Amino acid sequence: MVTKELFGYMPDGQEVYCYTLQHHAGGIRVKVCEFGGTLMGIEAPDRNGCFTNVVCGYDCLADLMNADGYVGALVGRYANRIGGARFMLDGNEYQLYPNDNGKNTLHGGRVGYSHKLWASSYSDTTQPSVYFSMISPDMEEGFPGELTITVTYRVTEDDTLAIDYKAMTNKATVISMTNHAYFNLSGFASGKVFDQVLQMDADRYLKTDDDLIPTGEIASVDGTPFDFREAKPIGQDFFAEDHDLKIAGGYDHCWCFENYDGKIKRVATAYDPKTGRAMDVRTDLPCVQFYSGNFLTDDGHPFFGGYRKATQNAFCLETQIMPDSPNHPEFTNCVLRPGDLYNTTTEFKFYVK
């Protein structure tokens, strides 16, 4: 089942709609919005059958448009950071907008896909689906190539939210898209996530400089607070004496999956012992940025019901290509060329332990 409702109006008067998707009675309920292609809600049952929204979001369009943090949004053309707000491609240098510390590019630049109004349509057949599409012009935010993009949100019968990304270009470009949902499996208004348990099939992570730009070093997680190969509470090593943790104010790093082969597989699981809710992350991408909400502070735009933001009250698992890959040839390939298809899927499966 898919339902459509008016959410608000853009400054120029354009209507903005939200969609709610549910596969069957008793299954997860997912809400998405045309502005930013934003994931607004995932209502999932706990071990007692009580439904709660486990992602953060906003009650009104004005807050969604003006808040910090890219909450729930589709981000691109390039997710995460590009150092120096520039890169070389095929012998040409491209200058981007430095929206991160005045010198780097973050999540697409000054006005990335997170702050665009996406065209939408939907299908209510075997899998309730919403399709968001846009054309990103050549040299938008400094990125070469006109990019034609479709992102599909769909809900399956086994309580999985799948997000499919597809894009084509008319000129060589770089691309890495993701969704920036903030999760709290106890419910978005439940406070710190330190007791929630995380496991990731990742044996390496990217070292960064003080601006959180990758240095180029791909380090082993062995013996570090970054080792989540065995499930452990998010807060277990959060306050460890570790330089990488200190400069980020917590976890805000890219983990690299073991035995990556480009196929969709389970790569991470989050679990809330308090409610029994669990979430598997499945993807065909090589990495995930695990972010512990270190910059999630009160910006005058509270979450649903006026709930004030606070650090570490939610976490992100942003599947992606390595950040700053355009400036590191040894990193994951991020180049899309004419005639090729950018085609990737990430899935979030919910269940109860």
Examine the pLDDT at 125 and tell me if it is beyond 90: no
330 tagged catalytic:
no
pLDDT score for 168 = 98
**Residues 212, 5: Cα–Cα separation, whole Å:** 39
By C-alpha distance, which of 199, 188, 211, 175 is closest to 84? 211
Measured CA distances, 145 to 24, 34, 93, 256, 338 (Å): 41, 24, 14, 28, 9
16 band by pLDDT with thresholds 50, 70 and 90: very high
**pLDDT, average across residues 19-37:** 97
63 band by pLDDT with thresholds 50, 70 and 90: very high
**pLDDT, average across residues 139-159:** 98
CATH number for 2-352 (one of 3.50.30.50, 2.170.190.11, 1.10.10.10, 2.70.98.10): it is: 2.70.98.10
**pLDDT, average across residues 94-116:** 97
pLDDT score for 163 = 98
- The single residue of 23, 107, 180, 253 carrying the catalytic annotation is 180
126 band by pLDDT with thresholds 50, 70 and 90: confident
**pLDDT, average across residues 306-313:** 97
DSSP state, residue 141 = G
By C-alpha distance, which of 178, 225, 226 is closest to 81? 178
pLDDT single digits (tens) 243-263: 999 999 999 999 999 989 999
pLDDT single digits (tens) 324-333: 999 999 999 9
Q: Are 168 and 342 in contact (CB under 8 A)?
A: yes
Examine the pLDDT at 273 and tell me if it is beyond 90: yes
pLDDT single digits (tens) 154-209: 999 999 999 999 999 999 999 999 999 999 999 999 999 999 999 999 999 999 99
Number of H helices, E strands in the chain: 2, 27
What is the average pLDDT value for the chain, to the nearest integer?
97
For the chain, what are the domain ranges?
2-352
User: What is the pTM assigned to this prediction?
Assistant: 0.97
- The single residue of 34, 43, 140, 318 carrying the catalytic annotation is 318
pLDDT single digits (tens) 31-59: 999 999 999 999 999 999 999 999 999 99
pLDDT score for 234 = 98
The token duo for 286 is: 């090589």
Percentage of residues of the chain with pLDDT beyond 90:
99
CB neighbour list of residue 48: distance below 8 Å, 6 or more residues apart: none
pLDDT score for 106 = 98
